[in-house]
Amino acid sequence: MNVPAARVVFSGDDRSEAAAAVMEILAGGSLTLGPWTERFEAAFATAHAVPHAVGVCSGTAALEIALRIVGVADRDVVVPANTFYATAAAVLHAGGRPVFADVEATTFALSAVGVEAVLTPTTAAVVLVHVGGLITPEVDALRRLCDSRGIALIEDAAHAHGCTYQGRFAGSFGLAGAFSFYPTKLTTSGEGGMLVTDSLELRDEARVYRDQGKGSFTTNHHVRQGYSWRLSEVNAAIGEIHLRRLKEFIDIRREVASRFTAALAAMPGLEPLVEAPGCRSNFYKYMVLLPEGVDRALFKREVFERFDVRLPGEVYDLPLHRQPVLAEFADGPLPVAEDVCARHICLPIHSDMRSDEVDQVLSALSAVHADLIG
């Protein structure tokens, strides 16, 4: 039996409803910024206990819009070194300069001390990334630091659908939060993103930016340097239907993660990233640190070739300050980010994962652990 690295889960009922919605949309002729977008926005805002949500074409677009509204042009924006390229790209496209900060090994996230060390007189924003669906307990300290310096805290919550810390949802800690609906995300719209905020002014500005900077949908009156960041009605319909499964998917993933954590306790040297007190993760990723010196590529190859278990991609294998396209912004080593990027793996975890698949993953880990780590 093959255990894939990832699996997109749509039930038969959801596929049927999505197909009917597409027929309705095509018959009605409103293909963008219509009633399905409004329904999706309202449902997502409710699911994350925030007042406002603005649907856009991608999580990257949501992040760039937030940064444009903040006003980062020709200013510095702090981002963690171990995030996806899109986080830094959004800064660059908004006219800012990414400043890479080191992270904490236990959360893969920024800390207040680490951020303070790289702040400059021109820092406009800090982007906190909830890697793998883990919200750092440093989040309140980061917000206090940003508030004290007049800096905007923006959340890259691409991994964090439905995640909470002390009962508060991802996306509600900063000025705005950006979510992604790329196909591998916990809930998907095929392609799409969502900006959430408690600011009515920011919501209204985001609506202008997403539609070529127009003052209103039906006019040719442009007031901002926006872009074509609209969410199609088809994507919105798929997203709204899939979002209804969020609680179910999180519950399944948390049960799988619980089994992984219990089993890994008997495999010395394999260190899972666990939830900090107060954090409730969706386990978009289940991350495990390998011991120093273990060949990650060999470990992954053994797990696949001997047990037919594919391990997903890392988060991430090459830190941003080592990416060739971002080399001009690198400013020395960031040892923790470099270390965790080099030696972690992610275990396959699906929103419909069966018990026998979990057994197979654990059997593979146990055997390869015994052979390579001992």
Interval 112-121 mean pLDDT: 98
Interval 102-117 mean pLDDT: 98
Interval 124-150 mean pLDDT: 98
If one looks up domain 246-372 in CATH, what number appears? Answer: 3.90.1150.10
Class of the CATH-defined domain 12-243: alpha beta
Contact (Cβ atoms closer than 8 angstroms) between residue 142 and residue 290 = no
pLDDT value for 346: 98
Delimit the CATH 3.90.1150.10 region(s) of the chain: 246-372
Question: pLDDT tens, 170-179?
Answer: 999 999 999 9
State the Cα–Cα distance between residues 200 and 110, nearest whole angstrom. 28
Q: Which element (helix H / strand E) includes 264?
A: helix 246-264
Closest CA to 193 of 207, 182, 205, 204: 182
Identify the band that residue 37 occupies on the pLDDT scale cut at 50, 70 and 90.
very high
Delimit the CATH 3.40.640.10 region(s) of the chain: 12-243
Question: pLDDT tens, 45-97?
Answer: 999 999 999 999 999 999 999 999 999 999 999 999 999 999 999 999 999 99
Buried residues in 297-326 as b, exposed as e (16+ CB within 10 A): eebbebbbeebebebbebbbeebbbbbeeb
State the Cα–Cα distance between residues 82 and 126, nearest whole angstrom. 14
pLDDT value for 179: 98
